[in-house]
Each structure stands twice: as C-alpha cells, then as structure tokens.
Amino acid sequence: MFVIWFLKPGTAFDIEFCRSAKVKKMVGAGWILSFCFLLVVNGVTVHASEELQPYRTSFHFQPLKNWINDPNGPMYFNGVYHLFYQYNPYGPLWGNISWGHSISYDLVNWFLLEPALSPKEPYDVKGCLSGSTTILDGLKPIILYTGQEVNDSQVQNLAFPKNFSDPLLKDWIKWSGNPILTPDNDIYPEQFRDPSTAWMGPDGKWRIVIGSEINGHGAALLYYSTNGISWTRSDKPLHFSSNISMWECPDFYPVSNLSKDGIDTSFQGNSTMHVLKASFNSSDYYVIGRYDPKVDQFHVVTNDFSVSNTQLRYDYGKFYASKTFYDDAKKRRVLWGWVAEVDDALDAIKRGWSGLQSFPRSIWFSATRKQLVQWPVDEIKKLRAKHVNMENRELMGGSLLEVPDIRGSQADIEVLFSLSNLSDAEMINSDIVDPQLLCEQKNVSQIGSFGPFGVLVLVSNNLDEQTAVFFRVFKGPNMFHVLMCSDQTRSSIAQTMGGNSMYGALLDLDPLHEKISLRSLIDHSIVESFGGHGLACITARVYPKLAIHEHAKLYVFNNGTKSVTLSSLNAWNMNKAQIVPMD
Ligand code: DQQ
C-alpha cells in the first residue's frame, strides 16, 4: 500500500500497473487486491484491476474514472471528431459539472483531453450544464452552454476556441460578455437550459431552441441571432406540449426523405422532414414534422409528445439527454446518448466511475418515414475479431443453442429469424399494444407460440445469470404485432436496482413478409440492442457477478411452441477500443 501514496491518483501508471499480467505473477493475489483497490476519499477515486472492475466497458466511451452524463456538443471539425460531456473531474457522483472533452479520428478510439469548460465564473459557478456546438460559417466552432449561477438561476453562455487553427481545439475561452441570455419573467429561473445546435434560416439569421417549461407545458423556446453572440427570443416557442413538464436537451434537425444520408442542420429544401427530440420522464422522445423556416412553424405529423409507452422514443431502455450532429466527412447524422448506471451511488463510489455513452449511431428515416432507424456507425467493424457464423438452423420449441468460441462479455452479435405459418400466432384482442406492459406480463420463461425467441447474453455457466433479448409475435384483430423485450430480471445473482427491469418496444414490420433481426452490442455492463435492423433500440445496464470476462456465454433460444428458423447468425469477439489520455 505504501507506493500508492507517492502516485498521483489517476496516473496512467497505477491503472496500467494493475492491468499488467507480469505484476500479477510477481505478487500474491491478496496483495494485488489491496494495492489496486485504491480509494481516495474526498475526490473519491477508485482504481482497481480488471478483475475488480468487471463492469468497465471496452468499446463504449467512458473516461478513465469519475462521473459522466449528457453528451454535449459533438461535432466533426477539420478532420477530428469532438465529444464533450457533462463530467465531474473530482469524483464518481454528479457535481463540479464541467465539459469533459475527448477527440477521435474514427468515433471508436479516443484521446482524453483536459476539460474544455470548468465552473469558475459567477455565471456558471454551480455547473457548466449541457449545451451544443455550432460551426459558424463552416469555419468557427462555438459552444453555447447553460451556466448555473450561485442562486441556481440558469443562464446561457458562449465559449470559443482560444486558437481556431489548433486541430484539437484544446483550449476554450468563455466570452467576456457572458451571460448572453438570462431567463425572462415567464420562466422559472431553474428551468431554462440546454441550448441546441444553431441552424440558419432563409433570412440569414441563426436559430436555437432552449429547453424550458411554461405554464406547466414542456417547451422548446426559440431564439434568433445574426452573429451567434446576441440572441433574441421569438414570441412563440418552436413547439410545446401540454401535460409534460420541463423539456431538457431539445434537438432539432432535418432528415432526408430520399436517402439514408444525413443532412446539415441548416439545410433548406423540400426533400426533408424535421425531427424534434425532447428529454423528459427519463426518456428521449421525438416527433416528426414539417418545418417552415420562413415563419418558424413546425407542424407535427406523428403523434405529438406524450408520456406513453407507445410514443416514439430513440431507445426504450436506459438512454437519455442525447444529442445528434451532422458528420460532413461521411454525410451522416450521428446520435450519442447518456447511458446511466442503474445501481446505486455506493456502487459508483466503490467503482470510482459512473455513466457511459451509447455507441454512436447513424440515423435516418425508415421506409415508411413514420420513424427513425438507428444503427451503430460502421467504424465499429474495425474492432471485430474472431467470427462465428451459423446458417439455417431450425430452432424447435425449447431450443437452447450455445454460440461457441465467443467471449460473451465483449461481443457483437447479429441474428436473423424467419417464421412461417403465422396463423398459429397467439391472439391478442387489441391493435393498441403497450409493449412495456406486455413484456412485463410475459417474461422469458412464459411459453408462447411464436416466441419468446432471441438471444441470451452474459450467461453464467449454470444459466443462473442471463439477460434475455427476445421477440414474441401476436395476432391482433387487424395486424400482427412484433414485440421486442429486454429482460434484466435474471441478469445478476446480486440484488441490484437494475435487477428488476424489463423493457419493451414494438417493431413496425410485417412478420409475414419480413424476417426479424436482432443485433446486440454486449460490453460487460451494457447490452445495446437493435431490433428489426434498427427500427427499435433497447439499451440495458446489467451487473452480473458470475457471467463476467471469459465466464460469460452467449446463446440463441426459442422458448415458444412453434419452430423458428435461425436464418443466419454472425457473432464477433470485440477488441478493446483505445481510450487514453492525450500526452
Ligand atoms: N443534465 C444537465 C442539464 C440537463 C440534464 C446537467 C439532463 O443541463 O438538463 O448535468 O440530463
């Protein structure tokens, strides 16, 4: 224990030392435990060897330690991807909120930089809260962020790079004229936050939305500016919804009607619809509509925002406060979301960290244009290692088939199921289905006719621990319903808060004519699943005790009475992404 006190907490040395196999051989296990499990109270820092850190992820973004929450201001600028995030540099719980900053050349491997913004000024002393970046004139990136003042009042601030020609944009300067916006009288001062990326209208003015609540209605307040610095409020919000409280982290952007390509936030043209996303009720809900930038009218064509399990959401599991950006290099729109822990603060203190970012996802419209489709960015493939393939296997009712040779704690798996003779599907007496409720009523051990079938991930030797991601097909009065569930109720033999959760979503596909696909990114304590080629996403956090590292197994199964064909299965071991401090 002696040496520890000479090390600066968090240096690469102590972490790398703990990982080193040589050291493990040199000294006894007990000594390693006490050496590597370092708890520094008051800036609570825990460093532990991988054995003690089975929940750290390998290819999902997280800093080396401490707390993170919302992704902030992601952007692609001068050949570099930037990801900022709500970060506590001093501990694993929310506090001292700064803008952590990391950069990447491929959205997979990351260099960690010093925080871009820290809470130091009267206008942000209680936190540099969420916000966005905008690249003015294609040349000048700026940050707009919310500062929390000493009295908790929220104001909007501006920061810009110290040196625009620094390719990494390491240093950011807060504008001397901050705050640039303060809450008007009709807004509670604690309910005015999270400015969006700006877009330009046909009049040459920039526009942003800011999350708020007016008279009990969640709202996206609209502001105009000619220079990105001075902003004035529009008479009416861009959009608001009754019966929903405070909207956080609004995001507003065009999506092409014609292709999967993403579109710059300021694009103007007929071939697009707009998406408005708002974060509330622990979920990221979105609506699709037509936006007329001449009069700033947004006409929603899907169901409007509501707190309902049938309302469109980016993700029906653990995913919040997300943010998109337009990636000019690959002509795509990329989505990041915060995936919080579901165990409690004491666990975070023991681990020394809390929170992850989802794997970045490309987004575009589904064929029906009634919803978005999401898919992990292609660069993930560079982490794929050993590959296992199976084709055309009949999965009779009660089948459990192990996927051999895959390290089930760190894998990417894609499966495709086909069903026939659906006339035998279980009947359901309504075409309005609450997927969350249905998954709760019918867990994985409840035998149906078509389903449950799917994958069991993070499975322990004796099957005591398992997380099931599965489908069931029902026949309603007028249509089939394809239900996707993620069942965490048996994910850990330890009783954790996450141990009780079940998530559900519906896939807008026709099982008579389409196969049912599932992709899951399994990364130690996160299972990020994409059903129907990305029509529905469910992200879960799990904390197995037995199914860790090389002890975690992977299966496909069918627990329905009807046979299902496994048309194809492809699974890969995943290599670890490099997430390292920049020298
Ligand atoms: N997180 C930030 C706020 C935002 C909330 C504070 C959403 O700006 O509204 O860390 O998770």
Which pLDDT score, from 0 to 100, does residue 310 have? 85
Could you count the other beta carbons within 10 Å of the beta carbon of residue 325? 28
Has 431 been annotated as catalytic?
Answer: no
Instruction: Choose which residue among 67, 68, 69 to substitute to test ligand 1 binding: the one with the highest number of ligand atoms within 8 A of its C-beta.
Output: 69
Q: Is residue 97 lining ligand 1, measured as CB closer than 6 Å?
A: yes
Could you count the other beta carbons within 10 Å of the beta carbon of residue 36? 23
What does pLDDT average to over the chain? 90
Which pLDDT score, from 0 to 100, does residue 443 have? 86
Helix or strand run (H / E) with residue 387? strand 384-395
CATH code: domain 386-581 is 2.60.120.560
Beta bridge partners of 233: 223
The answer, yes or no, to whether residue 97 has pLDDT greater than 50, is yes
Q: How far is the CA of 426 from the centre of ligand 1 (A)?
A: 43
Domain ranges of the chain: 2-47, 54-375, 386-581
% of the chain at pLDDT higher than 70: 90
Crossing angle of helices 12-19 and 29-36, rounded to 10°: 160
Which pLDDT score, from 0 to 100, does residue 49 have? 52
Structure confidence by residue, pLDDT tens digits, 515-552: 999 999 999 999 999 999 999 999 999 999 999 999 99
Which pLDDT score, from 0 to 100, does residue 445 have? 87
Structure confidence by residue, pLDDT tens digits, 117-167: 999 999 999 999 999 999 998 899 999 999 999 999 999 999 999 999 999
The pair of three-digit structure tokens given for residue 95, joined into one six-digit string: 């506090």
Q: How far is CA 300 from the centre of its chain?
A: 25
Q: Is residue 128 lining ligand 1, measured as CB closer than 6 Å?
A: no
Could you count the other beta carbons within 10 Å of the beta carbon of residue 440? 16
Assigned fold of 54-375 = Tachylectin-2; Chain A (2.115.10)
Four-point Cα dihedral 45, 409, 87, 534, nearest 10: -170
Q: How far is the CA of 119 from the centre of ligand 1 (A)?
A: 14
Long-range contacts of residues 125-128, Cβ cutoff 8 Å, at least 24 apart: 125/149, 125/150, 126/150, 126/152, 127/96, 127/97, 128/97, 128/98, 128/99, 128/157
The pair of three-digit structure tokens given for residue 415, joined into one six-digit string: 């499966």
Per-residue pLDDT band for 500 (boundaries 50, 70, 90) equals low
Q: Which residues contact 362 (CB under 8 A, 6 or more apart)?
A: 260, 262, 332, 333, 334, 335, 374, 375, 376, 377, 378
Q: Is residue 487 lining ligand 1, measured as CB closer than 6 Å?
A: no
